Structure 1
Amino acid sequence: MAEFGDQGWNSEISPIRDKVFEYIKNAILRGEYKSGDRIVERELAEKLNISRTPIREALFRLESVGFVKTMPRKGVVVSKMTTEEIVEVFTILSTLESLAVRLATEKLNAEHRQNLENLIEAINEALAGDLNDRDYSQFHLEMRDTIHLAAQSPRLYEILKSQIEYIRAFAFVSHETSERRRRAFEEHRDIAEAIKEGNASLAEELAQLHIENSKQSYLESLEKMIGTSKES
């Protein structure tokens, strides 16, 4: 099925290679391509009705940010996240999140204050009901987005977004228990409240605690997966 070639996109507005990059990245995020799956240039070219050149360029870019890797005799495959990579990414996230909440506190204006108040109210409403997987996944992104945007640093926002997407792609989206899910909501609410109250030190402390708890949840999930794999 043609995806790109029949739509007449203007390459001056958005180059095809950028669209291919987003297409493959989103396919990985949606789980259409899973860890270890091959991505074949020829098949994608036929599916998207484009030449292989922009696909090759997009795959090179995806490899540079860790989404795929080139394997001998296999070609391009979707990456797998190791324990070491989980620790590394969350260590980076801890520093970036701390910076984001401090900037958000220092730069807080009326618009972002209102956004944080709306977020706190939405979290409390969610906590009063059921936290199903679909709502949680989307709302979790919205919570992070509201806090990160309050920092008013576009470059920091993009860096954080790329790291979070990397985790989403490879670190077991369904890793969290209902208890951890609820606690994550509470942690985001507490961070938003600290920013709203102008307490940068507390906001940083809470952000670091949230990242540490998330890291431990991912590591426990990986350990269980490894154990299950060995048993089978």
Structure 2
Amino acid sequence: MPDSQQVVWRDEELSPIRDKVYQYIKQAIVQGVYKSGERIIERELADQLNVSRTPIREALFRLESQGFVKTIPRKGVVVSKLSPEEIVEIFTILASLESLTMKLAAQKAEAAEREELTRLIGELDAVLAAPEIGEEHRMVHFVVHDVVCRAARSPRLTQMLDSLSDYIRAFANVGYELPGRLRKAIEEHRDLAKAVRDGEPDLAESLTKIHLENAKKAYLEALSKQ
């Protein structure tokens, strides 16, 4: 369960409160604070977030329509657990979309974006050179993805990937629980950034498929140990 300390909302956050509550609960699910199968109790959340139960119910209804939670008779609202078939399906879609994005980025990246990738590669090398990789580096690959999506110059493709971004974050966080996976993922993103920067579309496409296959295996393995 999330920290039970009561949340104090700033004045500028009061409107619309339902959106703030929705984002709070969703991020707790995506970041693994709420685990698959774990019950979400309206009363406790209302007390913690210092709101009535109405925006909690609205947020949970919205999350249920998106597949993040489900209502089970006599148990209440619980975090959804994807089936192995659903996991494979999502990774298959990601492999197609992301490999195309990387390929386009390698072909279309402009000088400023290649310079930005060079800077990011240096940062990733510095992270990898450190004896330990901390929690703050878990989402480092999203910085690379932002640059690559911009370089690909395909708004519709970026929009499709954005629709899966919450799944991607959730999958990454779970997979990183395996010893050594975070370091390996950073290495993979560094190599992807190099391929895009150096204008090697076929290599970028191939490395993306390898990375997502590794991510899928890590996620499934981590889930099996929960």
Deviations 1:141-179 (CA, angstroms, capped at 9, x unpaired): 43444433433435245224223134246x35412x32x
Aligned match of 2:3:
none
Identity %: 49
Partners of 1:106 and 1:142 lie apart in 2 by 19
Is 1:187 aligned with 2:188?
yes
Shift in CA distance, 72/85, structure 1 to aligned 2, threshold 3 Å: same
Deviations 1:28-47 (CA, angstroms, capped at 9, x unpaired): 24443222222222332333
Partners of 1:186 and 1:163 lie apart in 2 by 21
Is 1:165 aligned with 2:163?
no
Aligned match of 1:104:
105
Shift in CA distance, 131/81, structure 1 to aligned 2, threshold 3 Å: farther
Partners of 1:59 and 1:193 lie apart in 2 by 41
| Aligned counterparts, 1:4-43, within 5 A | 4=9, 7=11, 9=13, 11=15, 15-43=16-44
Aligned match of 2:114:
113
- Unaligned 5+ segments in structure 2 are 1-5
Match of 1:3 among 2, 5, 8: 8
Shift in CA distance, 25/168, structure 1 to aligned 2, threshold 3 Å: farther
When the two structures are aligned, how many residues end up with a matched partner? 218
Give runs of ≥4 in structure 1 deviating > 6 Å. none
Deviations 1:119-160 (CA, angstroms, capped at 9, x unpaired): 111122222222424144132443444433433435245224
Give yes or no for contact 1:149–1:157 (8 Å, CA) kept in 2. Answer: no
Shift in CA distance, 30/189, structure 1 to aligned 2, threshold 3 Å: closer
Partners of 2:80 and 2:28 lie apart in 1 by 13
**Structural RMSD (CA):** 2.6
Aligned match of 1:78:
79
Aligned match of 1:148:
149
